[in-house]
């Protein structure tokens, strides 16, 4: 018998030894065909390597030709937000904090985006989307239904980094299949243990990572999906009537977030192929990215901030689909009034019943 140190028992981890056509584990007394053990070992080698991420370097292009539109720099005296916009914009409430009107200043240059998804939902439609959304909010304070307040919403092109790549992944799982049956005397449970190995390639296009510190990441991700078929080559004329934020999180700084999103999506794609097993435990996962490309894009978002009891509530509306994101507070006064009314009706009914019983 020949000890093969590099092959370990898939059940208990002890070294396997050759015995005829098979590999035998002296520790747990299991035998395995040599070919199967080799497949498991190859799979593990494939899946335990170092993950690698290969992205091109993004070279920013400055916005020199502003002949398409006259741009102005705007800043918020309350929160310090710095945005660019059409220089004909009237008084506009700061889309990020809602506290003051942004002040027009000198245009100080910005970076030219590669792509833009133009606004498809205009202000009127965005207001309608918001009004349809808050109909479902119970005991909504009246501040949120104030038309004048709602009309303060501003259209902002939010900077996003868009990542494309091919992702090759290798993942190993431990999995089980359970069979149960019974005869007149006993119930039986049989558990089969499997080593699963999955390998393949997944292509990703347009994974967005927002490039603005002021824009809340959770809100921006909740606004997805955007349909990138509508993305067009950037032209300044699209900014007419809107604000445009410029990125303050660089492409390099956003790569980690993109890596995480690609890896998680790949793993979940692969997980979908293990449905015929129960108790599936991922063991090793390795991903390797190639052809990583980065582009700078602007995506349309309507932003609205409404103040209620000293707190600002943020709302964002996808400027392409009309999807509304945000949380509504409950007006405690309205809620109690409602409960007293219901309780009052109950009381009145009880009083009527008591009256009938007495007569």
CB of 66 or CB of 101, closer to Zn ion: 101
Answer for which of 41, 66, 75, 78 binds Zn ion (CB under 5 A) is 78
Site for Zn ion contains 11 (CB under 5 A): yes
Those residues whose C-beta lies under 8 Å from the C-beta of residue 357, and which sit 6 or more positions away, are none
Site for Zn ion contains 9 (CB under 5 A): yes
How many of the other CB atoms lie within 10 Å of CB of 103?
A: 13
Near Zn ion by CB under 5 A, which window of 68-76, 131-139, 198-206, 308-316?
Answer: 68-76
Query: Is residue 310 helix, strand or coil?
Result: coil
Answer for which of 4, 40, 79, 207 binds Zn ion (CB under 5 A) is 79
Query: Is residue 333 helix, strand or coil?
Result: helix
Near Zn ion by CB under 5 A, which window of 47-55, 73-81, 292-300, 327-335?
Answer: 73-81
Query: Is residue 58 helix, strand or coil?
Result: coil
Site for Zn ion contains 75 (CB under 5 A): no
Q: C-alpha angle 210/150/334, rounded to 5°? A: 110
Q: In the bound complex, what is the minimum distance in angstroms from residue 76's beta carbon to Zn ion?
A: 3
Answer for which of 4, 17, 69, 97 binds Zn ion (CB under 5 A) is 97
Answer for which of 3, 19, 28, 192 binds Zn ion (CB under 5 A) is 28
In angstroms, the CA 47 to CA 51 distance is: 9
Site for Zn ion contains 12 (CB under 5 A): yes
3-state SS of 226-242 is CCHHHCEECCHHHHCCC
Helical (H) or strand (E) element with 313: strand 311-318
Site for Zn ion contains 101 (CB under 5 A): no
Site for Zn ion contains 94 (CB under 5 A): yes
In angstroms, the CA 331 to CA 308 distance is: 10
In angstroms, the CA 314 to CA 310 distance is: 13
Site for Zn ion contains 76 (CB under 5 A): yes
Query: Is residue 189 helix, strand or coil?
Result: strand
For 185, counting Cβ atoms within 10 Å of its Cβ (0-12 exposed, 13-18 middle, 19+ buried), the class is exposed
Is the distance from CB of 303 to CB of 150 less than 8 angstroms?
no
CB of 4 or CB of 79, closer to Zn ion: 79
Site for Zn ion contains 17 (CB under 5 A): no
Site for Zn ion contains 25 (CB under 5 A): yes
Site for Zn ion contains 93 (CB under 5 A): no
Near Zn ion by CB under 5 A, which window of 45-53, 80-88, 238-246, 288-296?
Answer: 80-88
Site for Zn ion in 311-340 (CB under 5 A): none
Binding site for Zn ion (CB under 5 A): 9, 11-12, 14, 25, 27-28, 76, 78-79, 81, 94, 96-97
């Amino acid at each position: 018998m020949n000890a093969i140190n590099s092959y370990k028992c898939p059940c208990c981890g002890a070294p396997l030894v050759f015995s005829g056509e098979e590999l035998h584990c002296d520790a747990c007394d299991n035998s395995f065909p040599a070919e199967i053990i080799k497949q498991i070992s190859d799979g593990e080698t494939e899946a335990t390597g170092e993950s690698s991420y290969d992205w091109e370097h993004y070279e920013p292009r400055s916005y020199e030709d502003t002949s398409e539109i006259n741009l102005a720099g705007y800043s918020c005296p309350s929160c310090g937000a710095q945005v660019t916009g059409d220089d004909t914009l009237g008084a506009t409430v700061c889309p990020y904090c809602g506290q003051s009107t942004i002040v027009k200043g000198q245009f100080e240059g910005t970076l030219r985006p590669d792509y833009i998804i133009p606004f498809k939902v205009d202000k009127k439609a965005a207001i309608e989307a918001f009004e349809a959304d808050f109909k479902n909010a119970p005991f909504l304070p009246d501040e949120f239904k104030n038309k004048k307040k709602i009309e303060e919403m501003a259209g902002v092109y939010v900077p996003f980094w868009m990542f494309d790549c091919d992702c090759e992944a290798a993942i190993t799982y431990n999995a089980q299949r359970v069979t149960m049956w019974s005869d007149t005397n006993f119930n039986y449970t049989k558990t089969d243990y499997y080593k699963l190995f999955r390998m393949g390639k997944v292509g990703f296009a347009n994974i967005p990572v927002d490039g603005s510190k002021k824009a809340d990441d959770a809100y921006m991700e909740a606004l997805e999906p955007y349909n990138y078929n509508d993305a067009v080559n950037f032209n300044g004329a699209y900014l007419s009537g809107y604000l445009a934020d410029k990125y303050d999180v660089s492409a390099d700084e956003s790569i980690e977030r993109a890596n995480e999103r690609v890896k998680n999506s790949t793993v979940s794609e692969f997980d979908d192929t293990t449905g015929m097993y129960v108790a599936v435990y991922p063991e090793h996962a390795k991903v390797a990215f190639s052809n990583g490309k980065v582009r700078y894009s602007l995506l349309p978002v309507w932003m609205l901030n409404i103040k209620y009891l000293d707190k600002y509530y943020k709302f964002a509306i996808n400027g392409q689909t009309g999807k509304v994101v945000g949380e509504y507070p409950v007006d405690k006064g309205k809620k109690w009034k409602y409960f007293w009314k219901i309780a009052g009706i109950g009381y009145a009914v009880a009083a009527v019943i008591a009256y009938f019983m007495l007569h």
